[in-house]
Structure formats: C-alpha cells, structure tokens
C-alpha cells in the first residue's frame, strides 16, 4: 500500500515521459535556415517551433507555466523541463504565494536550476543543506544519485521564477549531490548598445560565468531596450531555445513576426541567434542552449534515468531509503 501511495504521488508531481534525444535533434537539423547580412552569422539560427507555456497546478497550491515537459514539447536534449512559477514555487516562469509551494519530494539523475525573478524561495534537504534565494539569485542543484528536499515561499507576496531541469549523462546520474549558488550581485553582467545580459552560465559579450556545467550549458538573461538589436553566438552542435519573460521581440531573422511573453522558441541549427526589439517597451528573455547527450531518456516523475529497469530500481531505493536515499527514512523538512 505504501509503495502504491509513493507511485501515485510521484506520477502526479511530474508525469511519465520517454524520449530519444536523437529524434528532436534530427528533426531540428532537417529544417533549413535562412541567412541575413544583419545577423553577422554564417548560418543564423531560426525559430523552428513556438510553444505557449500554459498555466497548470503543481505541488501544494503552486501555479506554473510549463513549456518544455508538456505534450507539445516533451524534451529538448539535454533539457527535460522548464517551468515559469508563480503564486508559490518552481521551474520556468512562475509565481508562488504562501502557503503554497513544493513540500518534501525526491530527485535523481539530473540537475535543477532555479532562478528567482521576484521574491524568495527557501530550500532545505535531507543532508542538512538549507538556504533562501532571493530576486536575481540562482541555485544550481545537481541531484545525482539522490536528493529529497522542499522548496517553499520565503515571506509574503508573490514569488516568481524559472526552474530548468537539465539531464545528466549515464556516467553522471549516480554522482554525489551538490550545489552551486550565486547571489544576484555575484552574477556577471555586460551591456552594449541598449542590450544588457546577465551571464548565469556560459559566455556573452566576452564575459564568462564561473558556474561549472557538468552537461555543457549556456544560460543568459537578456534585456533589450526599445529598438535595440543583439547577436549571440551559440555552439553549432548544441540545441537551444528562448523563453520570453516580458515584452515582445523578433527572433532569428528580421522579417519574422514578433513573439510575445510566455512563449518558448525552439531554435534550428546554426552558429548564433539574432534578436530585434521593435516595440516601445523593454524585451526580456532567457537564451538557453546545451550540448545534447544523445542517450535514451526514461522519466518517472522526479526520477530521470536511461532504462525502465533503472527507474524501477530508483523507486525501490526511494521506498526503502537506500542507495542514496538513506537519510530519507527519518527526515522531514521544518
């Protein structure tokens, strides 16, 4: 009976998905790009798919806008999920309000990146790690072989942020858990010609982030003033996407139609992205790209492995508090 309860809880938290990384990669590669002299790239990346992040309920009273990880875009190797959370907590632009949030829940086999846009979230786990991230702060958590933690609103008012799930290769799925935490003031920035960028991971305008990405990843937060334009190089072998936080912009080529907030734009092949803000208001978006892992993905809620047998073992490990979940037996968040 207890195992059945666990299974139902985990499935509600995040539904089961199965994917092969190569399918999306090959689909993206088959779409031809168009060049434009104003981009400065030999092969500018164009938008191959547009997905509106729709509201849904997660955790306890939390509301999120999920883009990656829903039926229209289940997986974009190496990215598993993107939530914009509001009203309480969690992964890609969302909001959170007390007492809603994400009480004690497990992870295995991937990383979570939580980026606060407004308010704060308090995190604690079964290994004794505890802290609060506030507006502009980032927590980069490597779940590895196992973490059980809670993520709850810090204080009153609405909490907003993005949470991204990044897959780990088979050789890294069972590593020891770890954290990288960046305060807002420690995140490097650059600015030029009406374009400002916060460099969470990777490099932009000659500025490199100190964050170590076990799965090579670029995570850039851009703000463009009205009538500003930007060009950002992206490694050609990487998959990439844009999530628009506010405003509207033209992406890929100057003749494209403007796209508004809460859309994810999947980028086709090429060596860089160009963006134009032709509106009278600022445009803010994150540009995220990563090196594909090209391995099978089997997901059961918050567990992401390579085979169904590994998922079955993970559920058993969680249920019996072993193989990385030993401290779960008596731990409860405060």
Mean pLDDT by 10 residues, the chain (334 residues): 44 49 42 45 95 80 85 96 70 48 85 94 84 94 91 78 97 95 96 98 97 97 98 98 98 97 97 97 98 97 96 95 85 68
For residue 310, say whether it is annotated as part of any ligand binding site: no
Query: ∠ CA 59-108-140 to the nearest 5 degrees?
Result: 75
Please give the model's pTM, rounded to 2 decimal places: 0.85
The answer on whether 319 is annotated among ligand-binding residues is no
Report whether 262 belongs to an annotated binding site. Answer: no
Alpha carbon of 245 to those of 93, 118, 264, 309: distances in Å? 7, 12, 10, 38
**φ and ψ at residue 22, rounded to 5 degrees:** -65, -25
- What the block records as the tokens of 21 is 């990384």
């Amino acid at each position: 009976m207890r195992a059945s309860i666990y299974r139902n809880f985990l499935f509600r938290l995040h539904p089961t998905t199965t994917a092969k990384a190569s399918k999306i990669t090959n689909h993206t590669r088959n779409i031809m790009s168009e060049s434009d002299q104003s981009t400065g790239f030999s092969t500018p990346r164009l938008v191959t798919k547009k997905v509106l992040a729709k509201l849904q309920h997660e955790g306890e009273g939390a509301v999120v806008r999920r883009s990656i990880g829903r039926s229209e875009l289940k997986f974009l190797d190496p990215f598993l999920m993107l939530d914009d959370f509001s009203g309480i907590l969690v992964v890609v632009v969302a909001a959170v309000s007390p007492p809603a949030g994400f009480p004690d829940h497990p992870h295995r086999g991937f990383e979570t990146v939580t980026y606060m846009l407004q308010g704060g979230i308090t995190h604690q786990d079964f290994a004794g790690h505890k802290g609060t991230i506030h507006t502009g702060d980032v927590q980069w958590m490597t779940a590895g072989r196992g973490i059980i933690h809670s993520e709850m609103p810090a204080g009153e008012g609405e909490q907003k942020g993005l949470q991204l799930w990044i897959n780990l290769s088979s050789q890294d799925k069972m590593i020891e858990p770890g954290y990288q935490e960046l305060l807002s003031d420690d995140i490097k920035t650059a600015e030029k010609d009406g374009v400002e960028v916060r460099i969470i991971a990777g490099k932009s305008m000659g500025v490199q982030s100190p964050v170590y990405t076990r799965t090579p990843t670029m995570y850039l937060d851009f703000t463009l003033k009205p009538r500003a334009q930007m060009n950002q190089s992206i490694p050609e072998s990487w998959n990439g996407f844009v999530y628009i936080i506010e405003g509207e912009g033209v992406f890929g080529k100057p003749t494209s139609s403007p796209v508004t907030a809460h859309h994810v734009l999947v980028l086709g092949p090429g060596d860089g992205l160009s963006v134009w803000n032709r509106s009278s208001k600022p445009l803010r978006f994150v540009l995220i790209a990563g090196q594909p892992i090209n391995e099978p993905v089997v997901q059961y809620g918050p567990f992401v492995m390579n085979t169904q047998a590994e998922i079955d073992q993970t559920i058993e490990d969680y249920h019996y508090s072993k193989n990385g979940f030993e401290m779960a037996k008596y731990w409860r968040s405060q």
